A and B are shown apart, each in its own frame.
Chain A
């Protein structure tokens, strides 16, 4: 690494810059779009020069969508709130059940443990549409269609396997001796789980939680079928911008910016734990 030439460093820098540009450009473009009116967005050829306007954001916060032809009520902020409830709720539930389950799968080899773990993973293989139809009818019978409870339950299909499998790997990476040592020191199995396994797997739990949150946040199909207007998350709510009189690109862009903001904030916050996880990798010391 020491005798790397300057040229090599430059090329590496340029390559990295290109990759960053490639992945960041759509987000950057959306940000620009959210500050423009539909006319400037649709102008050809597109230009980066425009006078920025906050009218899109104003419309979203006011809850009224004014277009040339008509004005329409939207409840984007309500959708945003739904997204938060659904994502936080389902990740919370998934952590509550998934983390202890992951620990059990990692540490105790019981009859059929691999089969159960695999079955849970296989929920991720099945296309959601496959389960949606029967689910809709079940939910109506049970009376939990169109409730937060029912949606969070269905979201476990997304969150639980993810958390279970990621966190299980982290638990397995903790040397068994460290846990043995704590038990021999006189602590019961639950204290060992709480004081040794949980703190040492925390980076993994944070990563899995973050990932599950993003998946839950981005989910479209479950909410589209099972939720009515007042329970819809942003992904479904964004459909409202596709109106009979045209597509409100500016507002969609503003909505997108607003809806990625919470995930972005969460990712930045969780980054601390993710990095900590990398540096704590030398558990075997």
Chain B
């Protein structure tokens, strides 16, 4: 759409036999920006990436790179770099030749070719294993070699298909810190596929959520976390997972409120049309503060268990109606660890979803905020 778009995908569809994998996918990535494609497995992320690279032909729709329609252009002429989830290294070539392969295609003179390979290998800290065959490399080294191969020719568009999927947790964390800097230095337009919401939030300027072949939401990490388009997305982002409670909003004097275990939760920003509609109330565990049981406005619960998760402590509690609720707090905040307590909901964190369509119901305070 826009002239500055590094990549724009318009109405891209693809089916394999009867299975519709991509359904009219449309999005733009401005030049030098990183877009994270996020979604559960089987959502069509990898196929979408392949369509952009030209490895798979789409049934309909167009792909534009830097303003040129490349839909009919073979993959070798699209000028993209791609790193595959399973690395897809050439098993009969050593790491050097793997990284050099895009440069060989450009017929770079030998001297500058070796220099380029060396510098990109140094950047990714694999310069000491350049003469190793792929089978002699560790998973982390394979992943870096694949990444180096994608970067070597300095493509304007970089497609990264879950490159951290098959490496161990420590390395994944390291790379998650390293990658944004690396990508920013390159000034490349990047499409990054991942199934890990933390990776998505750490790496992307924007996140596009793909589910069953459709883009369901595009926005900044904060926008998707705070204002998910539907229940599925709300559940995909966040660990521990968001609390969801069946509620029916009702009018209480001037305001609208819902009942959670005999406690009224006020929804000061809700519109009148939610009254009487079956809804889901969503509240993220970190938006629940644990208080004494007798604090007014707190939902009385009994805490059943506490588990440390990353740097947080997660409390599992049961309301008087027998519903489970999770609350999390930083590990250094003391709190009653068991028995009766109160759960105090942070009003800004309360979300309301329509139970039938599962879509989030916009409450006025949200729409007033600036959406990134």
Binding site for B on A (CB under 8 A): 175-178, 180-189, 191, 196, 199-200, 280, 282-285
Q: Are A186 and B90 in contact (CB under 8 A)?
A: no
Chain A positions within 8 Å of B92 at CB level: 199-200, 280
Which residue from B78, B106, B135, B149 sits with its C-beta under 8 Å from A181?
B149
Chain B's closest residue to A181 (CB) is: B88
Decide if B91 is an interface residue (CB 8 Å cutoff): yes
B135's nearest neighbour on chain A, judged by CB, is A285
- The stretch from B32-40, B48-56, B253-261, B342-350 touching chain A is B48-56
Q: Which DSSP category, helix, strand, loop or mixed, fits chain B's interface?
A: mixed
Q: Per-position contact with A for B139-182: 1 when CB-CB < 8 Å, else 0?
A: 00010000001000100000000000000000000000000000
Q: Is the CB of A187 within 8 A of B88?
A: no
B82 interface residue per 8 A CB criterion: yes
Q: For the side of the interface on B, what is the size category?
A: 20 to 34
A203 to nearest B CB, angstroms? 11
> Of the candidates A177, A188, A191, A199, which one forms a contact with B84 in the assembled complex, judged by CB atoms under 8 Å apart?
A177
**Cα–Cα distance between A282 and B77 once the two chains are bound (Å):** 30
The residue on A at minimum CB distance from B161 is: A177
Contacts A175-B88, A181-B84, A283-B91 known; 19 new A-B pairs at CB < 8 A: A177-B86, A178-B90, A180-B50, A180-B53, A180-B82, A180-B84, A181-B89, A181-B90, A183-B75, A184-B75, A184-B80, A186-B77, A186-B106, A186-B153, A187-B101, A188-B74, A191-B105, A280-B91, A285-B91
Residues on the A chain within 8 Å of B75, using CB: 180, 183-184
**Majority SS of interface residues in chain A?**
helix
Cross-chain contact B135 with A282 (CB below 8 angstroms): yes
Write the residues of chain B forming the contact surface with A, with a CB cutoff of 8 angstroms: 50, 53-55, 74-78, 80-82, 84, 86-92, 101-102, 105-106, 134-135, 142, 149, 153
Q: Indicate the member of A175, A180, A187, A280 with the most B CB atoms within 10 Å.
A: A180
Measured CB to CB, the nearest residue on chain A to B99 is A185
When distances are taken between beta carbons in the complex, the residues of chain A under 8 Å from B106 are 186
Residue pair B82, A181 in contact (C-beta under 8 Å) = yes
* CB-CB nearest in chain A for B46: A177
